[in-house]
Amino acid sequence: MNKKLTCISKLQVERRKFRPVLPDILKKGASFIRLVKGKFMSSAVDQVNLRKIFKNTYGLPEIMFKRGASVDISKKSIKVAVVFSGGQAPGGHNVIAGLFDGLKKANKKNILIGYLGGPSGILENRYKLISKKMLFNYRNTGGFDFIQSGRAKIETPEQFRLIKDNFSASKVDALVIVGGDDSNTNAAMIAEYMEKENLNKCVVGVPKTIDGDLKNDYIEASFGFDTATKIYSELVGNICRDVNSSRKYWHFVRLMGRSASHITLEVGLKTQPNIVLIGEEILESKMTLVQVVEYIVSIIVKRSQDGKNFGVILVPEGLIEFIYEIKELIYNLNDVLVKNAEIVTNEEKKEFVYAKLPKEHFNFMKSLPIEIASQLMLDRDPHGNVRVSLIETEKLLVEMVKKRLLELKKEDKYEWKFSAITHFFGYEGRCGIPSNFDANYTYALGYNSAVLVLNGITGYLSSIRNLVRPPKYWKCGGIPLTMMMNIEKRHGEYNPVIRKALVDLNGKPFKKFVKNRVKWAVNDSYVFPGPVQYFGPLELTDMTTKTLQYERSE
């Protein structure tokens, strides 16, 4: 074997042979696609303020791809840049592959470069020229290691001027930003700046996040969600089988999902554990931390009375922000910390913060375990978000459940048996080899982006719909980034950001879960999904998520 390929697994060698299936509309290339404008699109909220901020890119029409001759885009070559922004998600390399192939199909002289290390690469003008040979070993692979990623926030006038200068110096005609809600907010801001300055540069976004919170009627799924939830479901399914074998532990499993519980709901639907906490439901019901603990304890006690001192509990990573009094506490903490970022040590932070908090929040903070209180005061991320991945919510719940069970033991003179094991599954799912669905979807998203930029479209998000059908039937086009936005408070100030899509409590996936959760709580209804399948019957290799199946079913 070639020495350069010794680090490549046999599975990766086989995955290189996989040829993503393009939607029929894209197969002949951009020169045979006619762009049709649909209805003009406004945001769901904050229309007046957003129109003031995005004077040049607000209220744009939906764009749909139809068969037919387009403007002759093959005569003029363009230079396109691509950048990964934010956390990794399975399938990112196929976005680049689809973008590259789409550009080269239109004109072999078209050039694709990749900015290195995320948005900071744009600011520092660090990039590499992408060739077919370089891409070969990255097709259908996980990770973002081809050009890496980063979380730099682009927001200052100096940064926008720097991008303008770097684009001019490198002769970049278009930028494709692959990212989640915050990253595509960057895309919208850059697109608006380019239009304001009459620079004739295109900016297009690609919907990426395993959290699943970047979606609407036009973006049916963000890429990576399918693969990541399949990976987590395998792990949770293995644990379910383990508890059903040993019958002596309660496993508290925290799953990634910073601001929404989509991952937890999907894994719950796939594996059917005893308890699945959905943050959005807890927030809607204004449940306190004590009430959440009481709910968990009630099921533990019921199962114990049936001789079952074991079970599996799924906890969304962002649960801490959905619990009513903690959400209010975090809101206050954000205000205090952002205005006093110079405070470095934990002790200084603690003394300062406690002195600034309202009495009810001070008392609640003091009631929390020291480790959790400290984690709530950790530095915020570049977008002003609490670093929820560093807050060990599952351990907080275990301690409070233990405490409550001891109280019940004294009251009822009953010997509750409770042994807990905690887990956090997050990074395990972000760079997995993409499922066939994600490999096809990301390739199509990249190719779709090529069609948009070749036609001079800017301020849009690449949109592929009809995802429950085979890829050949998928519908392609673009939607304005501004239609997904609202105004939120970040770093103590109100700014435009893409609105996160939370679990819909009236939606079919959640209703399916509610219909079954009582049965799952007391019975051992565990399902063991097993690993992601790449080869075999299509009903195994190409199946979509339960979420997508239920949401898009007739």
Looking at residue 76, its amino acid is K
Give the whole-angstrom CA distance, residue 163 versus residue 106.
27
What b/e readout covers 467-500, taking b as 16+ CB neighbours within 10 angstroms?
bbeebeebbbbbbbbbbbbbbbebbeeebbbbbb
**Residue 220 backbone phi and psi in degrees, to 5:** -70, -25
User: What CA–CA distance (Å, rounded) separates 255 from 426?
Assistant: 6
Residues near 215 by Cβ (< 8 Å), separated by ≥ 6?
Answer: 207, 221, 222, 501
Q: How many CB atoms sit inside 10 A of residue 505's CB?
A: 14
Please count the other Cβ atoms lying within 10 Å of the Cβ belonging to residue 49.
Answer: 15
- Among the listed residues 101, 211, 213, 226, the single catalytic one is 211
Q: Does 211 qualify as catalytic in the annotation?
A: yes
Q: Amino acid letter at 349?
A: K
- Phi/psi of residue 181, nearest 5 degrees: -65, -45
Exposure on the CB side of residue 400, measured as CA atoms within 13 A: 21
How many Cβ atoms are within 10 Å of 420's Cβ, its own excluded?
18
Residue type, 252: F
**Residue 487 belongs to what H/E stretch?**
strand 485-490
Q: Which amino acid is at 372?
A: I
Beta-bridge mates of residue 489: 494
Of 321, 320, 377, 311, nearest to 345 (Cα)?
Answer: 377
Q: What is the distance of C-alpha 231 from the center of its chain?
A: 15
Alpha-carbon span 269 to 509, nearest angstrom: 8
CA atoms 514, 437, 316, 492: torsion sign: negative
Enumerate the active-site residues.
Answer: 211
